[in-house]
Structure 1
Amino acid sequence: MASSSLAKSLRWGIGAFIVLNYAVAVWWSSEPEPFDVKLAAEQAAEAEQLSPVVGYATTTALIEVAQTLLNKSGGYLSNDKMPPSVIMDNMPAWELGVLNQVRDLSLIMRKDFSRSQSQSQEHPELKIAQPKFNIDNKAWLFPSAESQYQEGIDALIRYRSALANENQGDAQFYARADNLVSYLAEVQSRLGSLSQRLSASVGKEMQNTDLAGDSAAQQSTQTTTDYQIKTSWWKIDDIFYESRGEAWALLHFMRAIQIDFEQVLEKKNASASVAQIVRELEATQDTVWSPLILNGSGFGLVANHSLVMANYMSRANAGIITLTDLLTKG
């Protein structure tokens, strides 16, 4: 009788543990809502009793996006070793997407936005911040990813304070067309890769164009003329949420660019192009009503969420290409 009661209690305990972990996993899987970049910059400036200057919005957007990565519901999950986060993959994939964009922008801020020319010195706080975001996203001890990312955020906050301080002229942000083009090149590379990976959910026959456009071009080893790319069924949802995370972060960075590069964009007649890119990125954040990321064929009966996301990413990438053209030729 006692053993039967113990077994029953054990079953109830295991059941309660599973239900509790599932509920927590669902809660932690909720993606943060986009925030108002302009309002965030104004509030940060007010808290520091400073006036926003050129570059303040972009730096604030980078800080807020990185802080959201650490402070959202459940905190940072990619390096967790205990349930339920250890068995979750959608949110860690989303975090990786956000982190990729944080890494790209922090690098561009260090080597382009904060420097007047190639021979000028890097700002010391950005030299601290940028490498901190490059630690392995799964590192959990000695040091943990969260501790390194927080140190990077702290360095960015110090740079932002110096940026708006008239007595610290060594901290600058140069809103120039050529600097913006450098950043857009990074964005274009990211979006192009994501679009390709998303489209591969249904399998694609590809023509090898690696050496196209240059009759004298060479490569290390020979490759086939035709090849197929297809994403593993197990990785489809990971790539979808990684793309969604990248788009979420990039949405805020493009909104910040609208503020800091306003005069450059107006002079190049490129404001509408940035606004269209923002619209495409906003569309990637629509609610996913399905409990699963579906992978129907291109024109099949079942939806293919990856192809829908690929469409928005490709259109945003096309907008980036158009914007780059306007900035270089306008």
Structure 2
Amino acid sequence: MLDPVINFFSRIFYLIGRGIGYAVGIVLWPFLWAGRWYTQRGWILKTVVGAFVILWIGLYGYFFWVTQVWTNFNPDYVAAYNFEKREVAAGEPVPAQAADAAPKSCARSAVVEVTADLTDFNVNQNAWISSMLLFKLGFFGISWDDTPFLDNKAAFQRGINSAVRRTGVELVDTLGRVRGTSQIDGDLQKARGNLQFTEDAWYFGLNPFGPKTPTPSYYRSAVKDLRSFNSKLETCNAIFDARADNLIQFIDRIANDIGATSAILKDRSENNNYGWFDTRADDRFWFAYGQLYAYYGLMNAAQVDFKQVLQEKHLTPLWDGMDGQLRSALNIRPWIIANGSEGGWLLPNHLTTMGFYILRVRSNLIDIKQVLQQ
């Protein structure tokens, strides 16, 4: 009685096994053909081809390594600055009785310091992924951003860079000069220009055709320019205009920045909710994560630079609440990003979760802005 059933399932498993065998054969066929071709060549051609293959394997090995290893990644990186011990706002004279205070010494800008450090983290402590040759070539011509692997770090770095670029613009336009009418600081202006450089330039390009300076070189120059500005500020030879209206504008620009990211997450979540099979969900998520990672440090830095303004407006508790929301968002680090249906019960929707925290932070920023405007 059971023989027909056993034969049926045996046939099914046999066909499945043959199908898997055919699939593996198709995948391995190019390599087997290349191996046979290689063994039939002369030693000179073998040497050249072998060297090329070893070089290619080495490049991909290095590419895999730098995309998977996130050097000095630490959601609690703000703690290393000890901002709570800084008593003087940016650009203000350091009291003569303060320890190690030099004559005519002013406080450095924490915002400028964090901006420089975040850029240094992107291009010196880690390899800048977006301009690497193998990232630009993609996966058999398909952009890595359209695949579910090896693009998370690139998206995270671009998220940080988005926040850093926004800060660079504000430093030049308002924070680094008096009421926007005084002369623009040369170091800040150079830093802004370097930070605005395209994110994917390699040593050679097709449009325009010819050799180029790669992206990391420009960002490294921006780090030097920002630190040069802070050195001048420390000797009271530069300006950091820590007024309430400048803080209002800075907060407003950040709220708009993360608001745009929230809209991108919402659109992806609603129109491409394919669960684990949405190949763009991961880079959307990690771009947003990179933005919040950067703004967590920059907002803590702004709390130091605008210390007097916040104390006058009694904004410290509200600001601390915003910092707490930013830090809570950085706890969301799933192994696999899923873009499931918002009403589904099986797969999570990490984009919606991240969007929730972004909107909470944006709401806090708007509340702070309203208090500052009173």
Q: Name the aligned partner's letter for residue 183 of structure 1.
A: F
Deviations 1:189-213 (A, max 9, x none): 111111121122331xxxxxxxxxx
Deviations 1:232-261 (A, max 9, x none): 933221111100000011000001011111
Q: Which of structures 1 and 2 has the bigger CA Rg?
A: 2
Q: Name the aligned partner's letter for residue 62 of structure 1.
A: T
Q: 1:53 deviation in Å?
A: 4.1
Kept in 2: contact 1:37–1:57 (CA 8 A): no
Q: Please give the alpha-carbon distance, in whole angstroms, between the structure 1 residues aligned to 2:133 and 2:367.
A: 44
SS at match of 1:138: coil
Kept in 2: contact 1:40–1:60 (CA 8 A): no
- Taking a change above 3 Å as real, the CA distance of residues 22 and 309 of structure 1, as seen in their structure-2 partners, is same
Kept in 2: contact 1:55–1:174 (CA 8 A): no
**Structure 1 match to 2:303:** 258
Deviations 1:271-306 (A, max 9, x none): 11211111111112115233x211111132211110
**Structure 2 match to 1:146:** 216
Pairing 1:132-171 to 2, within 5 Å after superposition: 132-141=194-203, 142-166=212-236, 168=237, 171=238
Deviations 1:83-116 (A, max 9, x none): 7995432111111111111111011011111111
Q: Please give the alpha-carbon distance, in whole angstroms, between the structure 1 residues aligned to 2:58 and 2:80.
A: 43
Q: 1:174 deviation in Å?
A: 1.4
- Taking a change above 3 Å as real, the CA distance of residues 299 and 80 of structure 1, as seen in their structure-2 partners, is same
Does the alignment pair 1:190 with 2:257? yes
Deviations 1:118-146 (A, max 9, x none): 32111111111111101100011221111
SS at match of 1:36: helix
Does the alignment pair 1:120 with 2:182? yes
**Structure 2 match to 1:294:** 338
Kept in 1: contact 2:268–2:281 (CA 8 A): yes
Pairing 1:301-316 to 2, within 5 Å after superposition: 301-316=346-361
- Structure 1 residue corresponding to 2:120, chosen from 67, 70, 73: 67
Q: Please give the alpha-carbon distance, in whole angstroms, between the structure 2 residues aligned to 1:31 and 1:202.
A: 30
Q: 1:26 deviation in Å?
A: 5.9
Q: Please give the alpha-carbon distance, in whole angstroms, between the structure 1 residues aligned to 2:216 and 2:254.
A: 25
**Structure 1 match to 2:368:** 323
SS at match of 1:184: helix
Kept in 2: contact 1:114–1:122 (CA 8 A): yes
Q: Please give the alpha-carbon distance, in whole angstroms, between the structure 2 residues aligned to 1:179 and 1:149.
A: 25
Between the aligned residues of both structures, percent identity stands at: 21
Q: Please give the alpha-carbon distance, in whole angstroms, between the structure 2 residues aligned to 1:262 and 1:76.
A: 34
Q: State the superposition RMSD in angstroms.
A: 3.5
Pairing 1:224-303 to 2, within 5 Å after superposition: 233-286=278-331, 288-290=333-335, 292-300=336-344, 301-303=346-348
Kept in 2: contact 1:270–1:323 (CA 8 A): yes
**Structure 1 match to 2:89:** none
Q: Please give the alpha-carbon distance, in whole angstroms, between the structure 2 residues aligned to 1:152 and 1:259.
A: 22
Q: Which runs of 5+ in 1 are unaligned?
A: 204-228
Q: Please give the alpha-carbon distance, in whole angstroms, between the structure 2 residues aligned to 1:236 and 1:244.
A: 12
Q: Please give the alpha-carbon distance, in whole angstroms, between the structure 1 residues aligned to 2:58 and 2:108.
A: 48
Q: 1:263 deviation in Å?
A: 1.5
**Structure 1 match to 2:156:** 94
Report the TM-score when normalising by structure 1. Answer: 0.78
Q: Please give the alpha-carbon distance, in whole angstroms, between the structure 2 residues aligned to 1:143 and 1:24.
A: 24
Q: Please give the alpha-carbon distance, in whole angstroms, between the structure 1 residues aligned to 2:39 and 2:333.
A: 42
Kept in 2: contact 1:77–1:85 (CA 8 A): no
SS at match of 2:118: helix
Kept in 1: contact 2:108–2:231 (CA 8 A): no
SS at match of 2:248: helix
- Taking a change above 3 Å as real, the CA distance of residues 122 and 293 of structure 1, as seen in their structure-2 partners, is same
**Structure 1 match to 2:168:** 106
Does the alignment pair 1:33 with 2:74? yes
Does the alignment pair 1:56 with 2:106? no
Q: Please give the alpha-carbon distance, in whole angstroms, between the structure 1 residues aligned to 2:310 and 2:219.
A: 32
- Structure 2 residue corresponding to 1:76, chosen from 111, 128, 136: 128
Q: Please give the alpha-carbon distance, in whole angstroms, between the structure 1 residues aligned to 2:224 and 2:342.
A: 46
Kept in 1: contact 2:179–2:241 (CA 8 A): no
Q: 1:38 deviation in Å?
A: 6.4
Q: Please give the alpha-carbon distance, in whole angstroms, between the structure 1 residues aligned to 2:128 and 2:302.
A: 27
Deviates more, 1:253-262 or 1:311-320: 253-262
- Taking a change above 3 Å as real, the CA distance of residues 3 and 200 of structure 1, as seen in their structure-2 partners, is closer
- Taking a change above 3 Å as real, the CA distance of residues 25 and 6 of structure 1, as seen in their structure-2 partners, is farther
Q: 1:39 deviation in Å?
A: 2.5
